[in-house]
Amino acid sequence: MTTFTHTAVGGALGCAGLGSAGSFAAGFVSHFPLDLIPHWDLKSKWMESCLTLGALGLLFALFGPTPVFWGALGGALPDLEHLLPFSRKFYPSHGRLHGKALGPTHALVQAGIVLVCAGLIYRVGLS
Ligand SMILES: [Zn+2]
């Protein structure tokens, strides 16, 4: 999945009442099964970074250092290794387990996932 999708799912997991550390861990672990599913990945690291940092910044601005923010950060964090200058990947789903690559129309599925997560975050975050 795109890092933006991982960020949204992690943020939504932050609404599950797990606390900050639990939400961070849930987001981090959720990255694994989402990467196993066949999906489309954004090719531009620059655009991916901007979208993810923008989402994390928005969540922090709206909710502060709450479990929603920590869950989102945990969801996004494994993809940080794509920006590092190492050829070897350490997160388990970034190797041979990574899901089959789909075309850019899969972005519509991921947009749906992000919208559902954003709705959940918005609803829980304001209650
Ligand atoms: Zn990943």
The whole-number pLDDT of residue 97 equals 92
For the chain, what are the domain ranges? 3-125
Q: What's the CA-to-centroid distance between 8 and ligand 1, angstroms?
A: 13
Q: What's the CA-to-centroid distance between 3 and ligand 1, angstroms?
A: 7
pLDDT, the chain, mean: 95
pLDDT digits (tens, 9 = 90+) for 36-86: 999 999 999 999 999 999 999 999 999 999 999 999 999 999 999 999 888
In the predicted structure, residue 112 carries a pLDDT above the cut 70: yes
Q: Cβ neighbours of residue 118 under 8 Å, at least 6 residues apart?
A: 8
The whole-number pLDDT of residue 85 equals 85
Q: 16 near 122, Cβ under 8 Å?
A: no
H or E element: which one contains 27? helix 19-36
Q: What's the CA-to-centroid distance between 127 and ligand 1, angstroms?
A: 31
Give percent above pLDDT 90 in the chain: 92
In the predicted structure, residue 127 carries a pLDDT above the cut 70: no
User: Which residue has 């599950």 as its token pair?
Assistant: 16
Q: What's the CA-to-centroid distance between 93 and ligand 1, angstroms?
A: 7
In this prediction, residues 29-34 reach a mean pLDDT of 98
The whole-number pLDDT of residue 84 equals 87
Distance in angstroms (rounded) separating the CA atoms of residues 12 and 63: 13
The whole-number pLDDT of residue 125 equals 72
